[in-house]
Structure 1
């Protein structure tokens, strides 16, 4: 029964499935209101304020960099049982920053806003909710993470036209107020009601000390584990290349003289391809070993780059590129949320996941600017594509290395997982 009840002054959902669906909806709104809205607001902001495209995108990069730096402390707070506080606080901060953005009169304010949004994204988007779900549902986190990413995959589908409509109706400042309202009216109540509050005994000083020690030991263990470092290289290389290509895909196709209609179709296919890949995993892929899925995902991305290199103005090859490219990213999100638990351990997952996210999110912020600098050398996207292909192959190679290291100590991994299960029972 998907209803809510009050328990000791707090709001809790009767059904774990209802909690999962609620958290999924909050992810959809969080992604849509902060991340996907940016591209729809850039042009009207520039027209009104006279800001340059470089300056506005630099503010976005600052937000992504701050998000990367905040990932580890956010993860450790969730390990210590503060998931409810972290995600609710992130929603409040996102609301405040969107309202402040609506009142921005100079570029300095825009940079302050995106620094704040960087913190809020670190506290509300995929990594923190993956940590919360892993902690609250240690035996069923894979299915729940898959469902959350499946629903959140519609964020661009819902919020791009919604934001465009809001801008048309109310202007970009009014649109930001409406997006802030979405956060405070939808995300905040969900984060307050659907995330478990620790039991009284878990709030004792003894328990807090034990959790801090476990998180610290888990972090140190990860830094001594080759599997962790190989996964860090894999995810950092992947998200750097994905961010670089995503932000430059439209100008790249314009340079190749692809028609405006075909560019629109190509871009429109990517989002549904992400969702379709996640739906396929949810339907039939949950029983497949993560290592196998990971191999498919990390190899699919460089394959999509090769297709793009060969596509020219061919509609068939460009749509094939969009399908493979979007599908790979759709499954990568699930892989990123589950592979640590599968090949390493779940104890201290928030801290370990934060460590993995830190370089990845920093790379997301740097990669688009770096790609622009490479393009500027010859004013040609071919060198950019070649480097993206090389780095994506590095990502696939690093994943293979990670899986080999993981197989080299399966007994150790099973023992750690068993210990975690015993501690959670």
Structure 2
């Protein structure tokens, strides 16, 4: 596929839909299914969420091999196989009565997540769209950003009418009937990856071995930045409403503030993706980290009942939304366009492990300190550190 010219809407629209379904059924659905499973099977919330965390850890170890396969031109096989595997595991989940089997199902689900979530889709676009990948990635994140908006109410209705087992079987049907078919029909078949022009922007002259980036301080600074922001973006949402309540806000105000985050993410992604002429990608990255730090600088000073809580939610949501774009698009600019999938896999491994531990770590910090003040202070410290490491990263990666 040509790296320039008109947007190849077939693959972009297909991946937008499949990411919406994959995130809706494999990520956001779990929160709705915890309560009915706990009631019917007698398993605790801790036991259930532990299995989900293991899936995130498992996905970290599949990230690199999945990226390498996509770099070699096997994106269709990887993503189609991921959807088939997800559907099979969902069927097994719907039938399970054994907790050890449930844990094994979610360990295997990590492989499906690695093949279906953003990193895999972005790598497919980078390989097949070339310079158009930036716009395609933006479109995918805009559509997939509505996964919770679409699937939370939809799955809630299905659970009420068909129970949690029937709902999971419906989720399996969506992964086969929509995702697997679209992946098989829209992603180009295996082919030799295109070689980029020697004049393309890159720190390394050649990445025939993608592990060459491991010797670059800029690479590790980028990993640290993403680990810190990943901890915030995964750990905070689960605890955010309790944080608002502890600070004196009503449940209605807390829910209203939480509801601002999603639209702020989508709006920021839109402005980031289609406003590249106004600001460079590196400038957007600095703004992303600065907005995160500003949000947590503001939060401790927001009095109970103040509308400023909406400003915090908007700043946090905007930063979170922009971060997805920066993580996807900046590595080729910093480390070269070759072996995109493998490099993203190496970045994703420590990030996903940290993300898996974040909700539990935030809860443990709250229990140890006796309030969420320590969690807010930790988030502020991590946001400031991520800003510092990102700026230093840009300085080290700057071309001579």
Calculate the TM-score normalised by the size of structure 1. 0.87
- For 1:80-99, list aligned pairs within 5 A: 80-99=72-91
Are residue 35 (structure 1) and residue 27 (structure 2) matched? Answer: yes
Are residue 389 (structure 1) and residue 388 (structure 2) matched? Answer: no
Structure 2 unaligned regions, length at least 5: 1-5, 194-204
Are residue 77 (structure 1) and residue 74 (structure 2) matched? Answer: no
Are residue 224 (structure 1) and residue 215 (structure 2) matched? Answer: yes
Match of 2:323 in 1: 332
Are residue 46 (structure 1) and residue 35 (structure 2) matched? Answer: no
CA-CA distance at 1:53 after TM superposition: 1.5
- For 1:264-413, list aligned pairs within 5 A: 264-285=255-276, 288-407=279-398, 410=399
CA-CA distance at 1:284 after TM superposition: 2.1
Structure 1 stretches of 4+ with a deviation exceeding 4 A read none
The total of aligned residue pairs comes to: 384
Structure 1 unaligned regions, length at least 5: 1-13, 204-213, 412-425
**Structure 1 residues 55-83: Cα deviation after superposition (integer angstroms, max 9, x where no partner):** 11111110111111111111111111111
Match of 1:422 in 2: none
Alignment partners' CA distance in 2, 1:266 and 1:44: 27
Match of 1:159 in 2: 151
Alignment partners' CA distance in 1, 2:396 and 2:15: 34
Match of 1:18 in 2: 10
**Structure 1 residues 179-213: Cα deviation after superposition (integer angstroms, max 9, x where no partner):** 111111111111111111134xx49xxxxxxxxxx
Conserved 8 A contact 1:76-1:215:
no
Partner secondary structure for residue 36 of structure 1 = helix
Given candidates 179, 182, 185, the residue that maps to 2:174 is 182
Alignment partners' CA distance in 1, 2:302 and 2:100: 41
Conserved 8 A contact 1:143-1:286:
no
Are residue 147 (structure 1) and residue 149 (structure 2) matched? Answer: no
CA-CA distance at 1:216 after TM superposition: 7.2
Alignment partners' CA distance in 2, 1:340 and 1:46: 42
Match of 2:111 in 1: 119
Alignment partners' CA distance in 1, 2:115 and 2:13: 19
Alignment partners' CA distance in 2, 1:215 and 1:89: 31
Are residue 250 (structure 1) and residue 202 (structure 2) matched? Answer: no
Match of 2:201 in 1: none
**Structure 1 residues 142-200: Cα deviation after superposition (integer angstroms, max 9, x where no partner):** 1111111111111111011111111111111111111111111111111111111134x
Alignment partners' CA distance in 2, 1:15 and 1:368: 39
Alignment partners' CA distance in 2, 1:79 and 1:70: 14
